[in-house]
């Protein structure tokens, strides 16, 4: 037991000595470098698409020269390098850190835009949860609101159209699911949300047609004719209108005449 104890103490001593040696080596490896040299080295790594090395060097600029203009630039560049390497959460976090320190900085518009792009790139198909899509929508709207009449705002507005189409598609998927299970009131709520909130998307004609289906299933012929009228007024050449016309006509005649006479419904619709 004594020999074993002595051996254990010796081993512990060697381990502690090794750890101390490693710490000293790391400390000796730290050499302060001119800020321009560090930043240019990071930029070279970016040019070579070695984004991980670039991030480390940009972070080193910030660590060694924390209050310099180079540090502010490096924070943004580290966020961009994270974005390019598809580390979107890191890109968002780094851009937000820049904004917390430089809310009115020259790079603020780009930081907000980079956050929006990072959320946008994580959007998943409509069969999955759309929380990230909602975050992308909010971030893109923030760019448009804060920086109107800029290239950032114009790009954000284009992406907002795609985001709206995505969110409308999710509502349609859920609405169809309810319709197939004869849960017509729940389906109506989903289709109405598309018509009310996403009226400029490609899903609106189908949403109106599905409203016709759901209302007829509920025995609400007047509401079905009203939805068909809006569909006829705004999308008279669409297959969805022809399908709705067939449903209403089959349910009791005079749909074309009713749709025409109730065309004023379309005129009060903001499309």
- Domains of the chain, by residue range, sit at 33-164, 166-267
- For residue 210, pLDDT over 80 is answered with yes
d(CA 247, CA 193): 22
The DSSP code sequence of 168-230 is HHHHHHHHHHHHHTT-HHHHHHHHHHHHHH-TTSTTHHHHHHHHHHHHHHTT-HHHHHHHHHH
pLDDT at position 32 is: 74
pLDDT at position 106 is: 93
**Of residues 251 and 66, more confidently modeled:** 66
**Of residues 268 and 193, more confidently modeled:** 193
pLDDT band at 270 (very low <50, low <70, confident <90, very high): very low
In CATH, which superfamily holds the domain spanning 166-267? Tetratricopeptide repeat domain (1.25.40.10)
Cβ atoms of 208 and 240 within 8 Å: the answer is yes
Domains 33-164 and 166-267 share a fold: yes
pLDDT band at 19 (very low <50, low <70, confident <90, very high): low
Cβ atoms of 111 and 78 within 8 Å: the answer is no
In CATH, which superfamily holds the domain spanning 33-164? Tetratricopeptide repeat domain (1.25.40.10)
Q: Is 89 exposed, middle or buried (0-12, 13-18, 19+ CB in 10 A)?
A: exposed
Task: Give the model confidence (pLDDT) of 88-147 as tens digits.
Answer: 999 999 999 999 999 998 999 999 999 999 999 999 888 888 999 999 999 999 999 999
Task: Give the model confidence (pLDDT) of 151-173 as tens digits.
Answer: 999 999 999 999 999 999 999 99
Mean pLDDT of 70-88: 96
Q: What percent of the chain is modeled with pLDDT above 70?
A: 81
pLDDT at position 31 is: 65
Could you give the 3-state DSSP secondary structure of residue 67?
coil
Element holding 126 (H helix, E strand)? none
pLDDT at position 258 is: 40
Query: Lowest-pLDDT range, 5-9, 120-124, 134-138, 182-186?
Result: 5-9
pLDDT at position 261 is: 37
pLDDT at position 249 is: 85
- For residue 18, pLDDT over 50 is answered with yes
Mean pLDDT of the chain: 85
Among the listed residues 217, 155, 233, 136, the one whose alpha carbon sits nearest the alpha carbon of residue 183 = 217
pLDDT at position 266 is: 36
- For residue 13, pLDDT over 70 is answered with no
**pTM of the entire structure?**
0.75
pLDDT band at 84 (very low <50, low <70, confident <90, very high): very high
Mean pLDDT of 54-60: 94
CB proximity list for 254: less than 8 A, separation 6 or greater: none
CB proximity list for 229: less than 8 A, separation 6 or greater: 258, 259, 262, 263, 265, 266
pLDDT at position 264 is: 30
């Amino acid at each position: 037991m004594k020999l074993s104890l002595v051996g254990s103490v010796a081993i512990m001593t060697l381990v502690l000595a090794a750890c101390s040696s490693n710490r000293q080596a790391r400390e000796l490896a730290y050499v302060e470098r001119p800020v321009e040299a560090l930043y240019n080295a990071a930029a070279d790594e970016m040019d070579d698409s070695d984004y991980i090395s670039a991030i480390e060097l940009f972070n080193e600029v910030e660590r060694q020269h924390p209050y310099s203009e180079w540090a502010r630039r490096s924070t943004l560049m580290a966020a961009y390098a994270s974005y390019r390497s598809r580390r979107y959460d890191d890109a968002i976090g780094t851009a937000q850190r820049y904004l917390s320190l430089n809310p009115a900085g020259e790079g603020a518009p780009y930081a907000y835009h980079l956050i929006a792009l990072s959320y946008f790139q994580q959007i998943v198909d409509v069969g999955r949860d759309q929380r990230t899509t909602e975050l992308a929508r909010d971030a893109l709207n923030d760019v448009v609101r804060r920086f109107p009449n800029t290239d950032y705002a114009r790009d954000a507005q284009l992406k907002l159209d795609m985001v709206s189409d995505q969110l409308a598609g999710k509502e349609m998927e859920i609405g169809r699911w309810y319709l197939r299970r004869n849960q017509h009131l729940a389906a109506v709520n989903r289709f109405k949300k598309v018509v009310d909130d996403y009226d400029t998307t490609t899903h609106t004609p189908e949403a109106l047609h599905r409203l016709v289906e759901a209302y007829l299933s509920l025995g609400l012929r007047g509401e079905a004719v009203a939805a068909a009228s809006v569909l006829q007024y705004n999308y008279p050449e669409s297959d969805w209108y022809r399908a709705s016309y067939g449903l209403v006509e089959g349910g009791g005649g005079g749909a074309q005449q009713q749709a025409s006479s109730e065309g004023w419904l379309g005129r009060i619709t903001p499309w």
